[in-house]
Structure 1
Amino acid sequence: MSRNINTIIVFLCGFLSHAQLITYDSSLSKTAKNEFVFSSPYYKISLIQNDLKKDCFVYGMNAMHVTNNSKSTSWSNFSFEGKVKVRVSILYKKIKFAQVLPRKATINVTIIDNHTIEFEISKPGQYSIEFEQGTFIEHPLLLFANPLEVTIPNKLDKNVIYFEPGYHEIGDKFIIPSNTTVYIAGGAYVKGQFFAENAENITIKGRGILSGEDYNPRTHNHMITIRDSKEIKIEGITIIHASRYMISLSGSNHHLDNVKMMGWWFSTDGVSSGENSLIENCFFKVNDDAIKLYNSNTIVKKCVIWQLENGAPFMISWNGSRDFGNVKVQDVDVIRVEHHWDNENLAVFCAVHGSKAHISNFEIEDIRIDNSNWRMFHIVTRPNRWANWNPSKGCISDFTFKNIDYYGQQKIPSLLMGHDINHPVFNFTFENLKINGQKVLNAKEFLIIDESTTSSIVIQ
């Protein structure tokens, strides 16, 4: 009997190792409150590879905050390698325009008829399939094309918490012990929030969904809270309807890879991670700061950001009380920025630094910014309600912005400004910054500089 089971396992492992296209069944019929997530009435997606056609379930969810510009968001999730043809049908109107972002992907779209488009992808990524032009889109459609999973943990392992396809409700403080792998399988829908403290070697991975849906943003935790811990890895999952942060980590040596995040509330930040952290291949569609660059030795690369009306794609500081720096951000696509009112935290790159830290040595390069009609930079030192102001300390210096491509129109000029001579902003270099394809040669073309508190600003 055991020999037969082993034979079956070997066969299945061999089959999976050669599989090139994997879709996931939805478990929405089993959810307790499926008005929060449902089968999208707006889109249908089919995937075609080697003459094999598979329908890919399209999730939908409605906007939850009164100021949200979009009425809904739809998305689909699968894993693959090789090349895949994607066929998208729009169910609620005729096609007059179609494109796929991010720009870097250079995807050519073919319009088949009034309701259908096709395009091909050959690498994993997060894609926005768009039938409308402009900063605001009424019914967005997102495609999450994951790489094939390399290792799937054994559900019988005592150090594995395994969520199989289907609905699971875990509560708002599910505690994960050290040396544990939490696996959320494709097709699994987990309602709840994870928590750990003073832990190490925790992995949360899979292709399933973690949802905060009906949690109140004023009374509940972050979706994943891990405090004062080290060696945390989060990979592959999709997080939706966060009441507050998607992921809040402190400690050090963390790795976030291919995490997809979508939320609606003003308090829905994306990621705050500890020191020596790597954030890569992640997707953010959030309504507060997408990535908080608050810790030394942080690396962010190959991410895609859709910023809603509140918060900044890159927030550098509100209240840093200890010196930090050596931060690198590279090869990121900001595909949409929905800012449309004047608030101090509304810029692509933002700092409203109100505490005593010296923030320094940031390298930010190869950034593409589309559909943004507000401002690129708002970097200032200033007392604010989130900070403990120090009258003699607190400054920002030694930043390099290289190969920044901005496609849009700044309705509010960018700003660099220190609060006074004790809180300066200095040593900023902008190299090969382009606005709508034109290289900027003079700071005054895009930037206001307070020369009494701001110095050594170089345009190259």
Structure 2
Amino acid sequence: MGKLTSANKIFQSMDRKTRMIILLCFLLGMTNLKAQIITYDVPQEINDTNKFVRPSGEYKVELSLDGQTFVPFVYEMPAMHVTNNSKTTAWCNFSFSGKIQVKVTPLNQKPELINILPKSAGINAIIKNGSAVFTISKPGHYSVEFEEGIYIEHPLFIFANPLEENPPQPNQKDVIYFEPGYHEIGEKYTVPSGKTVYIHGGAFVKGQIYSENSENITIRGRGILSGEEYPPRTADHMIMMRNAENIKIEGITIIHAPRYNITLRGKNHIVSNVKMMGWWFSTDGTSTGDNAIIENCFFKVNDDAVKLYSSNTYVRDCVIWQMENGAPFMISWNGRNDFENCYVSDIDVIRVEHQWDNENLAVICAIHGGEAHISHFLFDNIRISNSNWRIFHLVTRPNRWGKWNPEKGSISDMTFKNITYDGSPRIKNLIMGHDSNHPIYNLTFQNITIDGNIVSSRNQEEYFIIDDENTKNINFKTP
């Protein structure tokens, strides 16, 4: 303690400029000390003969930091459904801090163009000697694209995770630890209250995780949870928690979901930095209970990415690639109990592959056939690109999934602001209450830009169909 006190006195005796220089050098030194890249081994079962997950035949990825080069494994999944537009989906997964260089080399083509999505990340890549080269300085989910258009046949995703904080150790109390390697846990791996399930970045876990009447469960890590070989639309969800409280899911990648990726019933949930990729209809992303946070997640799913079915749901800083079916944000098919206060902000919808006229195909969608009153939603800072469909489809009406009540079921008090749609939609947005007992009212659209044009009360009919009889107080505001 005496030495520290003496050092402090010496530091305080220095002039302000000298102290600032010392502090700056210290901070720079700490930054350099912490800058690192962590890649993960891959189980031998992930090989060229695996029909579900294999080494990519399309891409090689190299990472550079302070003169050191790291080569993360690039996974690849082939398409599973006849309607899928992508023939394969590839990704690599690593954790890092600092500023790193990423080099992506296509193995089957000479690149002529390169785009890094989301655009909001502001990443500019160059093509050099047959590779795309760019730098990243913060964690994120990035799509590296050598093709143009709405439909990309061979996407590559860079899952650049933050460094893990205090990862658990093997044999630690109340930890279920999946070490590097291949694990089969079955279709209903049950986790009791108070446990942490840790999936190491080098672990590949085939199976589904389940819990009921539980609390305080964490599922975390940088590894993979796979639903391969489970029958689509009839198997259970990948992570299913019934009547559960205080569930946290962080960092993992979920692939080949036969149904929902994550379903959390109960309340007080956090889903953070989870990557979800599936091929089948009904491979929804997340459905959570009251008081939930969904943040920094990535979705490439073939049904609704985020279901906003519960009160006090916060969705922020996510990247969504919506496949041919479903909506990035589904508000209701059959809501029975009133719910409110959902907030969605800072979302990049980087691709919407809708191509047929189905009622659930919109970025923000409600086909409300239940008796709930749904109210007080805010969507703010939503960026939509690579789409030619519609943003909004908000209606109340009977449907095959809802239990229709002739006397009630309505939508009100919603604000949609700072939404940018790059492209020309082929279908107009639809806002329509079914009848006087099922109205839609008090909606505000502010600073909605479609194909470079700001929608106002003067030009709304160019972009919107609004039923005046059962749809009241719909307002358009410019910035």
TM-score tier (shorter) = over 0.9
Indicate whether 1:27 and 2:43 are aligned: yes
Q: Where do residues 426-445 of structure 1 align in structure 2 (5 Å cutoff)?
A: 426-441=441-456, 442-445=459-462
Name the TM-score, length of structure 2 as normaliser: 0.91
Q: Where do residues 87-166 of structure 1 align in structure 2 (5 Å cutoff)?
A: 87-113=103-129, 115-166=130-181
Superimposed CA distance per residue, residues 225-273 of structure 1 (whole angstroms, 9 cap, x where no aligned partner) = 0011100000000000000000000100000000000000001000000
Indicate whether 1:249 and 2:264 are aligned: yes
1: CA distance between counterparts of 2:304 and 2:346? 18
Q: Unaligned stretches of 5+ in structure 1?
A: 1-16
1: CA distance between counterparts of 2:116 and 2:145? 6
2: CA distance between counterparts of 1:299 and 1:423? 26
Superimposed CA distance per residue, residues 152-184 of structure 1 (whole angstroms, 9 cap, x where no aligned partner) = 112212310000010000000000000000000
Superimposed CA distance per residue, residues 178-227 of structure 1 (whole angstroms, 9 cap, x where no aligned partner) = 00000000110000000000100000000000000111014310000001
Identity %: 61
Q: CA deviation at 1:34?
A: 2.1
Q: Is the 8 A contact 2:86 2:152 kept in 1?
A: yes
2: CA distance between counterparts of 1:408 and 1:431? 19
Q: Where do residues 367-446 of structure 1 align in structure 2 (5 Å cutoff)?
A: 367-441=382-456, 442-446=459-463
Tell me which residue corresponds to 1:50: 66
Tell me which residue corresponds to 1:175: 190
Structure number with greater Rg is 2
Tell me which residue corresponds to 2:81: 65
Q: CA deviation at 1:26?
A: 1.4
Tell me which residue corresponds to 1:14: none
Q: Is the 8 A contact 1:28 1:37 kept in 2?
A: no
Q: Which amino acid aligns with 1:459?
A: F
Q: Where do residues 330-369 of structure 1 align in structure 2 (5 Å cutoff)?
A: 330-369=345-384
Tell me which residue corresponds to 1:454: 471
Tell me which residue corresponds to 1:8: none
Q: CA deviation at 1:35?
A: 1.5
Q: Unaligned stretches of 5+ in structure 2?
A: 1-32
1: CA distance between counterparts of 2:113 and 2:364? 30
Q: Is the 8 A contact 2:35 2:99 kept in 1?
A: no
Superimposed CA distance per residue, residues 254-305 of structure 1 (whole angstroms, 9 cap, x where no aligned partner) = 0000000000000100000010000000000000000000000000000000
Q: Is the 8 A contact 2:380 2:419 kept in 1?
A: yes
2: CA distance between counterparts of 1:23 and 1:219? 35
Q: Where do residues 155-304 of structure 1 align in structure 2 (5 Å cutoff)?
A: 155-304=170-319
Name the TM-score, length of structure 1 as normaliser: 0.95
CA distance 1:167–1:311, change in 2 (3 Å):
same
Q: Is the 8 A contact 1:328 1:363 kept in 2?
A: yes
Q: Which amino acid aligns with 2:54?
A: F
Q: CA deviation at 1:408?
A: 1.5
Aligned residues: 444
Stretch of structure 1 that moved more, 142-151 or 153-162:
153-162
2: CA distance between counterparts of 1:122 and 1:42? 25
Q: Is the 8 A contact 2:242 2:266 kept in 1?
A: yes
Matched residue SS, 1:119? strand
Matched residue SS, 1:56? coil
Q: Is the 8 A contact 2:234 2:259 kept in 1?
A: no
Matched residue SS, 1:444? helix
Matched residue SS, 1:232? strand
Indicate whether 1:77 and 2:97 are aligned: no
Q: Is the 8 A contact 1:361 1:398 kept in 2?
A: yes
1: CA distance between counterparts of 2:264 and 2:48? 29
Q: What RMSD over aligned residues (CA atoms) do the two structures have, in Å? A: 1.4
Tell me which residue corresponds to 1:37: 53
Tell me which residue corresponds to 1:12: none
Matched residue SS, 2:260? coil
Superimposed CA distance per residue, residues 105-140 of structure 1 (whole angstroms, 9 cap, x where no aligned partner) = 010111103x31100000000000001111100101
Q: Is the 8 A contact 1:280 1:302 kept in 2?
A: yes
2: CA distance between counterparts of 1:117 and 1:229? 45
Q: CA deviation at 1:362?
A: 0.1
CA distance 1:358–1:33, change in 2 (3 Å):
farther
Superimposed CA distance per residue, residues 322-348 of structure 1 (whole angstroms, 9 cap, x where no aligned partner) = 100100000000000000000000000
1: CA distance between counterparts of 2:187 and 2:248? 20
Matched residue SS, 1:371? coil
Q: CA deviation at 1:92?
A: 1.0
Q: CA deviation at 1:85?
A: 0.4
Q: CA deviation at 1:439?
A: 1.6
